[in-house]
Amino acid sequence: MMAVGRAWNNLTIFGKVILPLAFIVLVLGPLVTVLLAVFVGPVLVDVLAANLPIVRFLLAATVVLLLTPPMAFVIIYMEMKLIALMNQRVGPDRVGPWGTLLSTVHGLKVLAKEDFTPTGADRIVFTWAPVVVFLSAVLAFVVIPFAPEGFGAADINIGLLYLFAIGGLTVVGLLMAGWSSFNKYSLLGGLRSAAQVVSYEIPLTLSVVGLILLSGTMSLRGITEQQEGWFTNWFVFRQPLGFIIFFIAATAEGNRTPFDLTEADSEIVAGFATEYSGMRFGFFFFAEYVNVFILSAIITTLFLGGWSSGIGLVLPIELNIDLGSWGIALLLVMAAAPIVLTLLFAIPFLLARSSMPAWQALLLGFIAFNVVAVGLLFGIGYIAIPWVAGLVFFLVKTFILVFVFVWMRGTLPRVRIDQLMGFAWKWLLPASLLNLFVTAAALVVLR
């Protein structure tokens, strides 16, 4: 015991933290997993199977709420880095590898700031406004089909109508923020947001009516399935004018440059967000960056084939592996494999540097094992499971569109409010009606 105590006292503070965590992960974790699977597993499976709809809803809601902050952090980092490169600057490069953790630090900074409510503000409405804006962005995730085989929270036959209805809630939150702040600049920002969203909602909705006529459904999964196969089936080639109108109107709906008139700092300080601070301020801008991803995902679903590769590529290969036949041996393998493979991956680090402490080698071995295991599982899933490959294609297209939104912010100047409104009513509305009439006439002639 004295030798153990002496070895413990010789460890650094970092080692004293890592060693218990490694013991919990490598020893206690597998043992608890086996015990839970043997004694609690059968009862838990029966309960979950009897309440499958509730379980699926709770799981989908949890995943959506957990994914939105990291998604916002990724897009914030992309924006900072890409705009810096466009201006021949380095951009974030200090916090984390290549500055990747800077957006996370910004989020923590906002969380740590004082949350102030101005005198004269309507406290209840002032507090709920950012919640409404954030949830209106998050709720759009529910109907977006990220991959085939039901990979999504819900597939409803009016999914497109649901998206437009939820998107309209954003303006309610911005109006709440502008009115409740008791500030003239905030009120102007809220009124601008209402005028902008109402004006661009009309061409946005009309631009997809031609697509609905071609597909015969408002289900987002049904629209995506009709674009499978070669990229010539994508609606961007069958509805090019509708795609252009939808992209421009969606940019205005998302308050992105050059249509970010609701927070025009050169005119109205910060618009609806002038009086906000702390995490309530953060909710608005989390919602903005989540909205960028959602708009990109909707455009991908409606016009760019969704999860389809576009080259007629069918990746899933049938793998006849029946893991259920292994029985209790599968649980034992899952419990023992992390320990054994961590030790095996730690050996090369010990051989490469004999002076390295054993706990450091084990930690590096554990990290290397996880990287290899995750890469291997992803590779097998990409080849053998349809939704994995579909999810990859979907996310690649979506983040290309996110890059386009960031690119626009780094290059285009902000338009005037009269130009913004005039462009919607004088150009986009007639163009969307023209697209609708031409599509309907073509369908009548061809059918």
The residue among 170, 172, 190 whose CA lies nearest residue 275 is: 190
Q: How far apart are the first and last CA of the chain?
A: 87
Q: Give the C-alpha separation, 190 to 284, whole Å.
A: 13
Strand, coil or helix: 316: coil
Residues 176 and 74 in one domain: no
The DSSP code for 100 is T
Phi, psi of 40 (to 5 degrees): -100, -30
Single residue among 112, 142, 165 that ends a domain in this structure: 112
Asked if residue 155 belongs to a domain, the reply is: yes
Q: Give the C-alpha separation, 296 to 18, whole Å.
A: 41
Single residue among 67, 85, 112 that ends a domain in this structure: 112
∠ at Cα 209 (143, 159), nearest 5°? 15
Asked if residue 274 belongs to a domain, the reply is: yes
Residues 237 and 88 in one domain: no
Residues 257 and 166 in one domain: yes
Res 128: pLDDT? 82
Res 331: pLDDT? 66
Asked if residue 367 belongs to a domain, the reply is: no
Range of the domain at 209: 113-314+413-446
Residues 158 and 236 in one domain: yes
Res 10: pLDDT? 63
The residue among 364, 109, 405 whose CA lies nearest residue 248 is: 405
Residues 6+ apart with CB under 8 A from 148: 307, 386, 387, 390
Q: Give the C-alpha separation, 126 to 177, whole Å.
A: 6
Res 246: pLDDT? 92
Q: Kindly report the pTM of this predicted structure.
A: 0.74
Total count of residues recorded for the chain: 447
Q: Give the C-alpha separation, 250 to 197, whole Å.
A: 10
∠ at Cα 54 (51, 57), nearest 5°? 145
Res 244: pLDDT? 92
Q: Give the C-alpha separation, 350 to 361, whole Å.
A: 6
Q: pLDDT of the chain along its 447 residues, tens only?
A: 555 566 666 666 656 666 677 767 667 777 777 776 666 666 666 666 677 777 776 776 777 777 777 788 888 888 888 888 888 888 777 876 777 777 777 777 777 777 777 777 777 888 888 888 888 877 887 788 887 765 665 677 888 888 888 877 777 877 887 778 777 777 877 777 788 888 888 888 888 888 888 888 888 888 888 888 778 888 888 888 989 999 998 888 877 778 777 666 666 776 777 777 777 777 777 778 888 888 898 999 899 888 887 776 555 555 555 555 666 666 676 667 777 777 777 877 777 776 777 767 777 777 887 788 777 776 666 666 667 777 888 888 999 999 998 888 888 887 787 888 888 888 888 999 998 888 888 888 877
Q: Give the C-alpha separation, 334 to 373, whole Å.
A: 12
CA dihedral of 261, 266, 268, 270, whole degrees rounded to 10: 80
Residues 198 and 292 in one domain: yes
Asked if residue 327 belongs to a domain, the reply is: no
CA distances (Å), origin 383, targets 227, 369, 397: 21, 21, 19
Single residue among 87, 112, 137 that ends a domain in this structure: 112
Distance of alpha carbon 307 from its chain centroid, rounded?
15
The residue among 114, 266, 271, 260 whose CA lies nearest residue 181 is: 271
The count of structural domains within the chain is 2
Asked if residue 161 belongs to a domain, the reply is: yes
Q: Give the C-alpha separation, 251 to 182, whole Å.
A: 28
Residues 152 and 267 in one domain: yes
Residues 92 and 203 in one domain: no
Residues 301 and 185 in one domain: yes
Asked if residue 198 belongs to a domain, the reply is: yes
Report cis status (omega within 30 of 0) of the bond before 53.
no
Residues 143 and 239 in one domain: yes
Asked if residue 334 belongs to a domain, the reply is: no
Residues 6+ apart with CB under 8 A from 349: 356, 360, 361, 364, 365
Residues 81 and 227 in one domain: no
Asked if residue 182 belongs to a domain, the reply is: yes
Res 245: pLDDT? 92
Q: How many C-beta atoms surround the C-beta of residue 75 within 10 A?
A: 23
Residues 89 and 184 in one domain: no
Residues 200 and 304 in one domain: yes
Strand, coil or helix: 94: coil
143, 163 contact by CB (below 8 A): yes
